[in-house]
Amino acid sequence: MFQVRIHGRGGQGVVTAAEVLSVAAYLEGKHAQAFPSFGSERMGAPVVSFCRIDDKEIRLREPILEPDALIVQDPTLFKAIDVCQGLKPTGYLLVNSNRSLAELHLDAIAGQLPKGHVLTVPASELALKHVGRPLPNAALLGAFAHLTGIVQLKSVAAAISEAFSEKIARANIAAATAAYDAVANAPAAA
Amino acid sequence: MNDRTITMDATQKLHFYQKGTFTVGNRLVSEQQRAVQASTDRSNALTCGHRACQGCGEALGARFAIDAAMRATDNNLIAVNATGCLEVFTTPYPETSWQTPWLHSLFGNAAAVATGVAAAMRVKGRTDVRAIAQGGDGGTTDIGFGCLSGMFERNDDVLYICYDNEAYMNTGVQRSSATPPAARTATTPAMGPEPGNVFGTGKSVPKIAVAHGIPYVATATVADLHDLERKVTKAMGIHGARYLHIHVPCPLGWGSLSHDTIRLARLAVECGLFPLFEAEHGAITGSQKIRRRVPVEDYLKPQRRFAHLFASEESKKRIGLVQAIADRNIAEYHLLDQEGDA
Amino acid sequence: MLKQIEGSRAMAETIGLCRPEVICAYPITPQTHIVEGLGEMVRTGEIAKCEFINVESEFAALSVAIGASAAGARAYTATASQGLLFMAEAVYNASGLGLPIVMTLGNRAIGAPINIWNDHSDAMAMCDSGWMQLFAETNQEAADLHIQAFRLAEELSMPVMVCVDGFILTHAVEQVDIPEQADVDAYLPPYEPVQVLDPQAPISIGAMVGPDAFTEVRYLQHYKQTLALRLIPEFAAEFKKQFGRDSGGLLRTYRAEDAELIVVAMGSVNGTIKDTIDAMRADGLSVGLVTLVSFRPFPIAALRETLVRARNVVVIEKSLAVGMGGPLANNVDLALRNVAGAPQVHSVIAGLGGRPITSASLHRVLRRAFVQPWEGSHFLDLNEEIVAKELHYVRKVRRSGPTAENLLRRLSQAAERAAE
């Protein structure tokens, strides 16, 4: 089972990200379970969502306490909560930022995880460029696909098509693809 | 005594021949102008054998109202009843006096249940079958108020009939929000410095119904049964939320003589305490003028629930407060002809 | 058709396939998505011949359903928690009148303190009202149970609550096979009322019943639920035949046949328990599970049969009967009453107000049950520190203030200390 935990703030599409990821996995014939950690709906409040992916039926219903991968849509959260709590030693960390790992003070964590498992990607900027709004979730999923290989980009694209109307889907797919390519073409991480 | 022609509406002109009493015999009225109750082929939806008290205004009002509704709907009527006197005395286990489909659910939900009945009829394509909800003042103005307002707001196709005897009678005459000021009830006893129900309390659900903007609102009384039938018939000719508030004296709760029911109902109208009016879509369309105005004392005196008002010179001053309410109603609803008293 | 879909949406689509005629509901977290989905489908015509009514309270919601059902329409509503309590009078009215209404309960804790998260206190509050109560383990089962519920309700003329864990199931996106209309139609015929308000054949429904017949009315309700004990498995078997999968029934077991310790639980937590059991079995521990689907009627005989050979039974429930302990544990005791050599029953109260029930905690408590069984109810993951502090404080200070606020304050203070 591969467990993904997504952190962000209300209004950034954290819940949708988990759902779209689950649909992508489903389209590849896998079992997937996506759910938010539920709190009162409020823009700007920290939000966490979860996605489990497995080849067999997923019976577990607890929150993801030991994620295989973390997607962080808003790096300001690192100061607010223990984002990386429970991240497995072989885990992945994908952060939405146009700054470097060092600037984000994530060097230490990157050092503890396998090489190439920790990445930043300027998802908000890519979203602004392709979608016109700084909603980073689609771009992050594109980057995630390349980073972990758990789902393919075309599945992410298909899932995005199901979730949004045609015009918006196309724009989000473009953002996802751009992020995917950015990760693919990045120089080998430290 | 002289003849008088009272115009109620264009379709009904009745000539009252008064020969020493105020009664009018149906034999003087043409068939088309007779009350539904006068015809032998009335549905008798509320048939005899029920357990109402002698002189019960509610039994009288319900009988007239429902048979009129049955005629208007060609006997395609479903009645939903709130808990209360009407429900209790018409269905003494194991018998029922209802000859129309009848459902009693709870005290406060008659309006909502009727909404459900109306929805079921619509979905089944039975647009000919209509729903009526009925309850006493307690079940309408207090505990049923939320559901009533909801039904009004949605403009559900329900006629809600409130039989207002101004207290929770079936449980022993406790005060409701329809209890008039100064009235003695079990929970507003005639004791202390201000005996009876408190002045400055109470609500007019007919006015609130008007404020909802529903297609039809009317007040009626068992003192004018033709008018009551007319209003029910008119209401059944309209689709959407409708409200009928009928004043029904209760000899037991009011402490009045059982043969005074209709007389008291008439006095309530004639002194101005119970205005008769109709409204459509938020605007009053007409009111019934007081034929022969009387002071409120005439109405209050025969009721033991107001006896304390007559106990002393001091208490009689409070009658003036009641008179003020009547005066306000007369002004608000234009209950007198321009010339003043008839 | 297989879909990756939100639980609420799956339920809405399936309920739509049951051809409801009157849907009336008042919004309350976490049932909102179900009713919104249904409302959309009525608007677009996807659900045909259906009246969707926005009511002004939960009391009105069930009352509208009562009127609709009594007038012969297939009626549906949904609520949770506070809403269920607000309609409590109507809940008893519907079952007392024998109306086959189906209601989804998005299980949620009851306040005070106000809490929007999942537990079973709402279902427990109305478990003796005469409604049948079926608990879904997965969103597939949540969808499927609604189809079976309509069938069951209309067969017996008795209302049914389908209990679905709020948020955990209602808001989870997972794989659900949405049935085909033809299959649902084959399984669920049109509603044929036992009693109906019909101008062509007038009857009075809802009269007062005195001491001479009230007991018999209640007895017959109770008897109907014993009939349901037979019908529920029958309808589940028919369901399997029509739709090709196991869903519903009174209960099911997981690795319990030879188990020394058997866990009993309802709802979504069963999934987590199964994973825990597999791990414990791998460690050589003899443990199994009974998933109770039908809470009302309570399947005494079926439960006894599965539990009687175990040494220990651990009941894990998301409910608390304040002053008594675990209501589900209490009911399970009933199944073992007067049984010679019956296993010991241990009560675990877990997941109240949405506290996650983790596999790690389950491991701990189940292993403890093997070696050190306890008396009374064990509160899983109780924060003993803040409880002790509060108890100490209220002994010292008379005006100690609201308990809930005190505990929240201590929690945040403890978190601050941990962060330093």
Residues of C in contact with B81 (CB under 8 A): 206
Specify the length of chain C in residues.
420
At B273-330, the pLDDT tens digits run 999 999 999 999 999 999 999 999 999 999 999 999 999 998 999 999 999 999 999 9
Q: Would you state the pLDDT for residue B54?
A: 96
Contact state of C4 with A40 under an 8 Å Cβ cutoff: no
The sheet carrying C287-292 orders its strands as: C251-254, C287-292, C261-265, C312-317, C344-349, C377-379
d(CA C345, CA C310): 10
Residue of C nearest to A32 (CA): C174
| Beta-carbon separation of B123 and C60 below 8 A | no
Please give the residue of chain C at the shortest CA–CA distance from A80: C419
Are B96 and C55 in contact (CB < 8 Å)?
Answer: no
Nearest CA to B247 among B270, B271, B276?
B276
CA A176, A178, A180, A186 dihedral sign is negative
pLDDT tens digit sequence for C188-244: 999 999 999 999 999 999 999 999 999 999 999 999 999 999 999 999 999 999 999
Give the rounded percent of residues in chain B with a pLDDT score beyond 90.
84
Instruction: For residue A188, name the pLDDT band (cuts at 50, 70, 90).
Output: low
* pLDDT tens profile C51-64: 999 999 999 999 99
- The DSSP bridge partners found for residue C379 are C349
Interface test with B, best of C192, C204, C205 (most B CBs within 10 A): C204
Q: Give CA–CA dist C317/C324, Å, rounded.
A: 14
How many residues can be counted in chain A?
A: 190
Residue A186, Cβ density class (10 Å: 0-12 exposed, 13-18 middle, ≥19 buried): middle
Confirm whether the ipTM is greater than 0.85. Answer: yes
Contacts of A61 in chain C (CB under 8 A): 168, 268-269, 271-272, 357
Closest by Cβ to B101, choosing from C56, C68, C203: C203
Residue B24 Cα to chain centre, angstroms: 21
Please give the pLDDT value at position B16.
Answer: 54
Looking only at Cα atoms, what is the longest distance across chain C?
78
Taking CB atoms and an 8 Å limit, are A38 and C173 in contact across chains?
no
In this model, does residue B20 exceed pLDDT 70? no
Angle at B12 between CA B8 and CA B13, to 5 degrees: 80
Residues of C in contact with B104 (CB under 8 A): 204-207
Choose from C4, C114, C168, C362 for mutation: most chain A CBs within 10 A. Answer: C4
- Rounded to a whole number of angstroms, the distance from the CA of C162 to the nearest CA of chain B is 21
Contact list in A for residue C274 (CB cut-off 8 A) is 59
Query: Is C7 within 8 Å of C170 (Cβ atoms)?
Result: yes
Cα–Cα distance measured from residue C339 to residue C320, given in angstroms and rounded to the nearest whole number:
25
Chain A residues touching residue C351 (CB < 8 angstroms) = none
Instruction: Name the residue of chain B whose CA is nearest to C206's CA.
Output: B104
Name beta bridge partners: C36.
none
* Chain B residue with the nearest C-alpha to that of C73: B120
| CB contact (8 A) between residue C55 and residue B121 | no
pLDDT(C417) > 90? no
Q: Nearest CA to CA, how far is A96 from chain C (Å)?
A: 24
In Å, how far is C352's CA from the nearest CA of chain A?
A: 14
| B42 three-class SS | coil
| Planar angle of CA C40, C46, C52, nearest 5 degrees | 50
C78 neighbors C103 (Cβ within 8 angstroms): yes
- C45 residue type, one letter: G
Q: Do B104 and C70 touch (CB under 8 A)?
A: no
- Please indicate whether, in this complex, the C-beta atoms of B101 and C59 are within 8 angstroms of each other: no
Strands B4-9 and B12-16 turn out to be antiparallel
Closest C-chain CA to A82: C419
Question: pLDDT > 70: what percent of chain A?
Answer: 96
- pLDDT tens across A78-121, in order? 988 899 999 999 999 999 999 999 999 999 999 999 999 999 99
Least CB-CB distance to A62: which of C171, C174, C359?
C359
> What pLDDT sits at residue C419?
75
Distance CA B154, CA C64 (A): 13
Residue B83 has pLDDT above 90, yes or no: yes
pLDDT at B8 over 50: no
Q: Give the model confidence (pLDDT) of A138-166 as tens digits.
A: 999 999 999 999 999 999 999 999 999 99
pLDDT band at A45 (very low <50, low <70, confident <90, very high): confident
Q: Which chains border C (3 or more CB–CB pairs < 8 Å)?
A: A, B
Interchain pair C354, A38: CB under 8 A? yes
C206 touches chain B (CB under 8 A): yes
Please indicate if any CB of chain B lies within 8 Å of the CB of C56: yes
- Angle at CA C404, nearest 5°, toward C168 and C349? 45
Q: Contact at 8 Å (CB) between C245 and C187?
A: no
Residue A168 pLDDT > 70:
yes
Q: Which chains reach chain A with 3 or more Cβ–Cβ distances below 8 angstroms? A: C
Residues of B in contact with C210 (CB under 8 A): 93
Asked if the Cβ–Cβ distance from A23 to C116 is below 8 Å, we say no
**Residue B15 pLDDT exceeds 70:** no
Q: Assess whether pLDDT exceeds 50 at residue A190.
A: no
Contacts with C136 from chain A: Cβ below 8 Å: none
From the candidates C26, C51, C63, C203, which should be mutated to test the interface with B, based on the most B CB atoms within 10 A?
C63
Q: What is the mean pLDDT of residues C109-113?
A: 96
The answer to whether A and C touch (≥3 CB pairs < 8 Å) is yes
Per-residue pLDDT, A44: 80
Decide: B and A in contact? Rule: 3+ Cβ pairs under 8 Å.
no
Name which residue leads in pLDDT, C317 or C415.
C317
CA terminus-to-terminus distance, chain B: 13
- DSSP classification of residue B138: I
pLDDT score at C177? 98
How near does any CA of chain A get to the CA of C280, in Å?
15
**Residue A6 C-beta-side C-alpha neighbours within 13 Å:** 28
pTM, two decimals, is 0.94
Contact A22 C356 (CB under 8 A): no
Q: Alpha-carbon distance C93 to C66, whole Å?
A: 8
Surface-to-core class of residue C280, CB atoms within 10 Å of its CB (0-12 exposed, 13-18 middle, 19+ buried): buried
Q: Which of A31, A59, A63 sits opposite C271 (nearest CB)?
A: A59
Chain B residues touching residue C21 (CB < 8 angstroms): 120, 123-124
With 70 as the cut, is the pLDDT of residue C341 above it? yes
In this complex, is the C-beta atom of C25 within 8 Å of any C-beta atom belonging to chain B? no
Q: How far is CA A72 from the centre of its chain?
A: 7
DSSP H helical ranges for B91-221: 110-123, 137, 145-154, 205-211
Average pLDDT over residues B206-217: 98
Residue B342: per-residue pLDDT: 40
Nearest Cα of chain B lies from the Cα of C72 at a distance, in angstroms, of 7
Between CA C12 and CA B276 the distance in angstroms is 49
Verify whether the Cβ–Cβ distance A34 to C174 is below 8 Å.
yes
Tell me the pLDDT band of B26, cut-offs 50, 70 and 90. low
Over residues A17-39, mean pLDDT: 95
C51 has a chain B CB within 8 A of its CB: yes
If interface means Cβ-Cβ distance under 8 Å, which residues of chain A face chain C? 18-19, 22-23, 26-27, 31-36, 38, 40, 58-63, 65
Averaged pLDDT score across all residues of chain C:
96
User: Is C202 in CB contact (< 8 Å) with chain B?
Assistant: yes
**CA A156, C140, C120: angle at the middle one, nearest 5?**
115
In which element (H, E) is residue B6 found?
strand B4-9
What is the Cα–Cα distance from A52 to A60, expressed in whole angstroms?
9
Helix (H) or strand (E) holding A70: strand A69-72
Judged by CB atoms closer than 8 Å, whether chains meet at C171 and A61 is answered as no
C103 touches chain B (CB under 8 A): no
DSSP class of residue B141? I
In angstroms, the CA C32 to CA C387 distance is 34
The mean pLDDT value of chain B amounts to: 91
How many Cβ contacts (< 8 angstroms) between chains B and C? 156
- Residue B113 to chain C, least CA–CA distance (Å): 4
Q: Please answer whether residues B287 and B335 qualify as being in contact, where contact means their C-beta atoms are separated by less than 8 angstroms.
A: yes
The alpha carbon dihedral of B57, B58, B64, B68 has a sign of: positive
**Averaged pLDDT for residues C9-16:** 98
Residue of B nearest to C56 (CA): B150
Assess contact for B29 and B14: CB atoms under 8 A: yes
Which chains sit next to B, with 3 or more Cβ pairs under 8 A? C
Q: Mind telling me how many Å the CA of C274 is from chain A's nearest CA?
A: 7
Q: How many alpha carbons lie under 13 Å from residue C80 in its C-beta half-sphere? A: 27
Cβ neighbours of A33 in C, within 8 Å: 172-174
Q: Which residue in C has a C-alpha nearest to residue B104's C-alpha?
A: C206
Q: Residue C101 forms beta bridges with which residues? A: none
Cβ atoms of C80 and C106 within 8 Å: the answer is yes
Q: At what angle do helices A153-163 and A137-148 cross, to 10 degrees?
A: 160
